[in-house]
Amino acid sequence: MVPREFIEELKARCDLEEIIRTYIPLKRAGANLSGCCPFHSEKTPSFTVFPDKHFYCFGCGAGGDVITFIMRQENLDYMGAVEYLANRAGLTVPRDGERRDEGGRRTRVLEMNREAARYFRAMLFSPAGSEAMAYLTGRGLDGATIKRFGLGYAPASFGGLCDHLHKLGYTDEEMVTAFLCGKSRKTGRPYDYFRNRVMFPIIDVSGNVIAFGGRVMDDSKPKYLNTSDTPAFKKSRNLFALNYAKGNCSEQMILCEGYMDVIALHAAGFLCAVATLGTAITAEQARLMTKYTQRVVISYDSDEAGQRAAQKALRILGEVGLETRVLRMNGAKDPDEYIKNHGADRFRQLLANSVTGFAYRLDNVLAQHDPAIPEEKIKASAELCRIIAGSYSHVEREVYLAEAAKRLELPVDVLRNDVEREAKRLSRERRQQESRDAQAAAAGFGDRVNPDMAKNMRIARAEETVLGLMLLYDEHRAAVASGKIELTEADFFTAFGRRVFSAVLALETSDGGFDVGLLGAQFSPEEIGRIERMRLGRRELSENGISVLRESAALLREDAQRRNAEQGGALSAVERRRAALAAAKEQKTKG
């Protein structure tokens, strides 16, 4: 849909290194650059940027070019990433005719969400929304706050939104894909997914309405309904109110559990508050926070469930290198209630007195185990040693050891021995798990990109050899395209291998020729990562000549012939063509 020349200019203007540095720090490692991967949590850098303007993570397998990077980082499809980079570079994306996204395409979903948000807003300010408006004002929200967050109301009717979107030209299938409507199993008729709920639009940092949360106004269940994942939304990769907080959180970010907590904090002047979207915090959300802040204050509910969630958040936020602190609230169950009862100034003081993650854990352990009782002191010390051993930094361990020893009234050296022993055990378990994961990956088990691989590892490896060589070397692609190396799509055993081979060959024989960066339009970011691994795998080997390609191609052909024989001996069209060519060649030789 986009001319090749434009993609080449776009990639030339959008330097991969420069763009990646806006997300993570990079350090020089010989001819390459390295850093901690932005797509998974790690302590030792495995993310590499190569001089040929490609990246690859040897930990999680993410890889590709600048377009693939933006697809992953900003949760965009190929065209969305192209447009994102074009806007950054001051370019206009040319198109052949008008592009219309079908069904579940991101642009179409975003358009529906915008119209749905307008509908919900109109309903809130209509007579039908009087109960919802009374609920919001009763929670202390004024008109300015309601408008700022685009709050709305989904009427109790079964088809109000569906009818509205139908009039605008949207189909039932599109509405279901956007998670705005469902379909009755009995009648097949569409119905509004959100009914009789106060509506909270979820807006991304670009100002797009990407999803919704809906809250009941009484004690009925479920209390909240949230949009499930759609082509425009992944709940594990977004945060509520980040569109406002992003410019106000360089010093710190406040992490809350619910929409109302965030809105109450913003209304009180704490513009750095965000919330997860109906789920516990994820590693993707933690990595997203690192783009905007260095410190996160966890402000979860004071009940048992909230405290368990805080423990998990401490671990996940710590894994991505964020400084974490925990807010302790007495006399209120959440920030919304605390501000109503005590005011914004008292909450500001509460923020200033927030405790470190370790201090929070230490207090929790000592609240459960009385150090005055020998057996309880042993349990407390064992639990604290496990917590301290999980710290990556030796400096952090020493600081925590000193504090724990003081509170337990034990010698530091005694605790240090136990911590070192526990740290070795944890390291051993990590290595064993990594080994198991590597063996499973080598055997193709759990391979979501190429699930056929585990069925025949020998042939799948031969496919990767062929594809890696074709991806790297012009002469090898030319040899296959010209027929010098006899190979067709039907010779490939795995469906993924067939797709890659077909795409590479199609580009090779096109007017513009092959460009690995153009594969991003046909493959997902995960698939591009596998393609990048194939390239790197061959580049690291010394023997990549035509003989290697010929041997691997022969292996694929032999296996294809065996499969055909096992299926009844019938020759495929490709095999018949080969047989005819062989017969013609033999006849010519005799003649």
200 phi, psi to nearest 5 deg: -115, 105
The count of residues in the chain is 591
Task: Judge whether residue 118 has pLDDT over 50.
Answer: yes
Residue 462's nearest CA partner among 533, 553, 528, 557 is 553
- Residue 545 confidence (pLDDT) above 70: yes
Maximal C-alpha separation, the chain: 103
Q: Which amino acid is at 204?
A: D
Residues 334 and 220 in one domain: no
Note whether 123 and 54 are same-domain residues. no
Q: Measure CA of the first residue to CA of the last residue in the chain; give whole Å.
A: 50
Domain final residue, candidates 199, 233, 267: 233
The total domain count for the chain is 5
Q: Per residue in 419-475, pLDDT tens?
A: 899 888 887 887 776 566 555 555 555 578 888 888 888 999 999 999 999 998 889
User: What are 233-260's pLDDT values in tens digits?
Assistant: 888 889 999 999 988 998 899 999 889 9
- Answer yes or no: do 323 and 211 share one domain: no
Instruction: Assign residue 520 the CATH number of its domain.
Output: 1.10.860
Residues 482 and 550 in one domain: yes
Report yes or no on 547 lying in a domain.
yes
> Residue 357 — very low, low, confident or very high, per pLDDT cuts 50/70/90?
confident
User: Which of 415, 442, 469 corresponds to the end of one domain?
Assistant: 442
Is 99 among the domain residues? no
Q: What whole-number distance in Å separates Cα of residue 79 and Cα of residue 147?
A: 32
Task: Identify the pLDDT of residue 588.
Answer: 47
Judgement on whether residues 398 and 486 belong to the same structural domain of the protein? no
Question: What is the average pLDDT value for the chain, to the nearest integer?
Answer: 87
Tell me: pLDDT of 584 over 90: no
pLDDT at position 577: 53
What CATH number is associated with residue 195?
A: 3.90.980.10
pLDDT at residue 197, rounded to an integer: 96
Query: Based on the domain organization, do 395 and 493 belong to the same domain?
Result: no
Q: In angstroms, rounded to a whole number, what is the distance separating the alpha carbons of residues 591 and 576?
A: 22
Tokens encoding 428: 């051993």
| Nearest one of 571, 124, 40 to 320, comparing CA atoms | 40
What's the pLDDT score for residue 437? 57
Question: Which pair of structure tokens corresponds to residue 492?
Answer: 């490939």
Look at residues 291, 358, 300 and name the one whose alpha carbon lies nearest to residue 320: 291
Domain end, chosen from 294, 321, 353, is at: 353
Domain interval for residue 68: 4-89
Confidence of residue 16 (pLDDT cuts 50, 70, 90): very high
Quote the DSSP letter at residue 570: P
Pairing assessment for the beta strands 253-256 and 181-183 based on DSSP bridges: unpaired
What was the pLDDT predicted at 97?
42
On whether residue 361 sits in a domain, the answer given is: no
Same domain, 455 and 584: yes
Region of residue 491 (left: phi > 0; alpha: psi -120 to 50; beta: else)? alpha
Residue range 547-558: mean pLDDT, rounded: 94
Same domain assignment for residues 417 and 333: no
Mean pLDDT to the nearest integer, 142-171? 95
Q: Is the pLDDT confidence value at 117 over 90?
A: yes
Q: Is residue 17 part of a domain?
A: yes
CB of 39 closer than 8 Å to CB of 287? yes
Give the helix/strand (H/E) hosting 198.
Answer: strand 197-203
What CATH number is associated with residue 34? Answer: 3.90.580.10
Same domain (yes/no): 407, 477: no
Residues sharing a CB contact under 8 Å with residue 295, sequence separation 6 or more, in sequence order: 251, 252, 253, 322, 323, 324, 325
CATH number at residue 284: 3.40.1360.10
For residue 173, tell me if it sits in a domain.
yes
State how far the Cα of 176 lies from the Cα of 166, in Å rounded to an integer: 12
Residue type, 339: I
Confidence of residue 586 (pLDDT cuts 50, 70, 90): low
Which residue type, as a one-letter code, is found at position 235? K
Residue 339 covered by a domain: yes
Instruction: Give yes or no: residues 456 and 575 share one domain.
Output: yes
The strands making up 27-29's β-sheet, listed across from edge to edge, are: 27-29, 32-35, 47-49, 55-57, 63-64
Q: Quick one: 227 and 266 in the same domain?
A: no
In a domain, 520, yes or no: yes
Q: Are 168 and 206 contained in the same domain?
A: yes
The verdict on residue 470 lying in a domain is yes
Going by pLDDT thresholds of 50, 70 and 90, the confidence category of residue 518 is confident
d(CA 465, CA 551) in angstroms, rounded, equals 10
**d(C-alpha 299, C-alpha 564), whole Å:** 63
3-state secondary structure of 256: strand
